[in-house]
Amino acid sequence: MEPVFEFPIVFDDRLQAGRMRQLHEQLRAAILDQRLRQGTSLPSTRDVAASCRVARNTVIAAYDLLIAEGYALPRKGARAVVADIATRRVSKPRRLTAAHGDARMNPAWGAASLQPQPPRDLPERSFRLGIPEHRHFPHAAWRRLSAQSLRAWSKTPFSYAPSEGLPLLREAIAQHVAFARAVACRSDDVIVTSGAQQAFDLLARLLVVPRRTRVAIEDPGYMPLRSAFAAAGARLVPVPVDDEGMCVDRLPKDVRVISVTPSHQSPTGVALSSRRRLQLLEFARNHGAVIIEDDYDGEFRFGGRPLDALQTLDGDALVFYVGTFSKSLFPGLRKGFVVAPPWARAALVGVKHCADSHSDTITQSVLAAFIREGHLARHVRRMRPIYAARREALLDGLRRELGDWLEPIASEAGLHLAVRVREPQLFARILGQAQRFTPGVQSTDEYSSKPLAVPALVFGYGVIDVEAIVPALMRLRRALTR
């Protein structure tokens, strides 16, 4: 049989696509390449079937698909012809500079600061920040409660859970923060979120009027929060941080939202002093501002009695208290919460419903039981001395091995420690050696919109063993000495 096309039709039975799909794709490619030109009559299905040694129904199905896609036109009483595909070709998009982006998008999302950063290629046991220890987690208890939740879920009708979170989890969170952080709230005040990051996004949507609302942020400060408010159209006002936390006296009078990490400043680690806490609340009260209190790792304290949370001191319903379980439990849990003042509660639930119309059932019920049975409190108590030992080893090693170059910044909480470089002109060289010999170390410049006058190094101790800390610092000392 003579070939019916001027190009070969080849079938490969090893491919997942069947012969009809392979025939269709090869004919479509020939039409797009203009090997089958506009107006050309397609060979009869009988001839194609005989030439290609396939069933006629296979050819009919391939032709029908070409017609349905607009690559061929049917004709009554005659063979189908190749369609004019000029209108189907998509022109190449106009090249636009990264500064302007595509005009069809909100230009805010083209900002480099909003682009996700690739994960750092670091050893599992390192000085990296923001990661808690997994080896002491009560995995058996979590598996048991997960199995219980799955069994209970399988016996209930499918339904949508409330977007603000399961009542049992909200009640458990309210009791936990009241006990652990003296935060006075009821379950109705708690809105469950997908980690602190979603909490910041929801609050930005709620509180920001685009291009008008001025939002004060710590500088240096937590970059994902900065990104959430920038994307919402806020006018960001960086406020410097010193050894007492945010410099409240540097707040402009027209800011309407103030974001702080008062328990353990991110990234310097300092605590907002009692004096400045009262100043901050007074400022918000006098100028009609609200405060977002980010308490991301306040459970882990190693000094005396913790300072009261801003929410605890607040008598005027000014504070949104944001918490997360990413540090106390594990990041993959993706659970955080907002304790909202009464006047904003209903509106925040509405924002959450628009962004996330219902919450997951199984993970929330597991977490609620985990808290209710006391596993969270026990896990925090168990981890506190483990992290304390690592912190002490880090402090001792920094003083003994690197005291000539580095000076620790006073900090009594959290899972990371910041240190100043005694001679700022050497910072870049010291940072390069530190990232080589103590992997995971970061610069506070990474948390600022512009280079800082006096940057610092930040060491995490969540996932590094005590016995590995001093040898790493000794290697860094030898490198700096050379």
Q: Report pLDDT digits (tens) over 420-479.
A: 999 999 999 999 999 999 999 999 999 998 888 888 999 999 999 999 999 999 999 999
Q: Could you tell me what percent of the chain has a pLDDT over 90?
A: 73
State residue 101's pLDDT score: 58
Look-up of token digits 């006096």: 454
One pLDDT digit (tens) per residue for the chain, 482 residues: 567 888 888 888 877 778 888 999 999 999 988 889 888 999 999 999 898 889 999 999 999 999 988 899 998 888 999 998 765 554 444 544 444 456 787 777 777 767 777 777 788 899 999 899 999 999 999 999 999 999 999 999 998 999 999 999 999 999 999 988 889 899 999 999 999 999 999 999 999 999 999 999 999 999 999 999 999 999 999 999 999 999 999 999 999 999 999 999 999 999 999 999 999 999 999 999 999 999 998 888 887 777 889 999 999 999 999 999 999 999 999 999 999 999 999 999 999 999 998 889 999 999 999 999 999 999 999 999 999 999 999 999 999 999 999 999 988 889 999 999 999 999 999 999 999 999 999 999 999 988 888 889 999 999 999 999 999 999 999 999 98
State residue 85's pLDDT score: 79
State residue 98's pLDDT score: 47
State residue 109's pLDDT score: 75
